[in-house]
Structure 1
């Protein structure tokens, strides 16, 4: 039971790690790796994809070294990081950027809110003045935008005479 809780806590804490890394590292001294994600060029792969490997290393080390030393709480941390990586892949690469055309049309409010938040993040082409650096948690203003859009879609235009 404790290992499951440690895994879930590690998963949750990864949102904080992701926000901080995205804001201060990816939009900071490693901008040269992240820039092509904001200014899409030709081809399927981006230098930004290197962050998959960068984030996978601590997960792999925790799982491997924890297993070797029978420190299963460390394995649980590695599993939480790995689960977050899987969620990142599904949400960021598949749902938001649709690099894989698995879920292209969704009416789900969360999906629409997270896509809008990410769109607002990408409106900034430089490393400064960014917003919405998280991945799974969506700020209230983006939820509000989606709700307003839903209300507008349900209002029928007045008939002209």
Structure 2
């Protein structure tokens, strides 16, 4: 049961990420996200990195309180959120934005499509007219371009 809750949470986080990215990051918290849409990063850290903390807090609290209660379902939910966060970091910051120069010359069709979709998202420097707000799910049209 733990694994099903963990997996369900991990998969649900893609929808949470899409919704948060579209309506929160490109909405009332644009101030934190806007520097991420600038052509060049001035610093190693961006205001946008605050979202890692925002998502990490509920994950940590769920794991701690679930562990205190005898490792109940909250640990699985918190671990699912944490696993998605780790995946997000690897995909978004390492593979797509190359904060670490790994996977630079990949020919993997999924990773190439992922980069194309994200590039389309970043062609808009403002918060309006955005598209492709998810992270791990890539619309099929980006496999064809």
TM-score, length-scaled by structure 2: 0.97
**Greater Cα offset, 135-144 or 65-74:** 65-74
Structure 1 match to 2:92: 92
Structure 1 match to 2:42: 42
- Structure 2 CA distance, aligned partners of 1:63 and 1:104? 34
Structure 2 match to 1:23: 22
| Superposed CA RMSD | 0.8
Q: What are the Cα deviations for residues 4-59 of structure 1, in whole angstroms up to 9, with x where unaligned?
A: 11000000000000000000000000000000000134121100000010010110
* Alignment of 1:8 onto 2:7: yes
Larger radius of gyration: 1
Equivalent positions of 1:1-161 (< 5 A) are 2-39=1-38, 40-145=40-145
Deviation at 1:71, TM superposition (A): 4.8
TM-score, length-scaled by structure 1: 0.87
**Greater Cα offset, 101-110 or 89-98:** 101-110
- Structure 2 CA distance, aligned partners of 1:92 and 1:41? 15
Query: Structure 1: which 5+ residue stretches go unaligned?
Result: 146-161
Query: Structure 2: which 5+ residue stretches go unaligned?
Result: none
User: What is the count of residue pairs matched by the alignment?
Assistant: 144
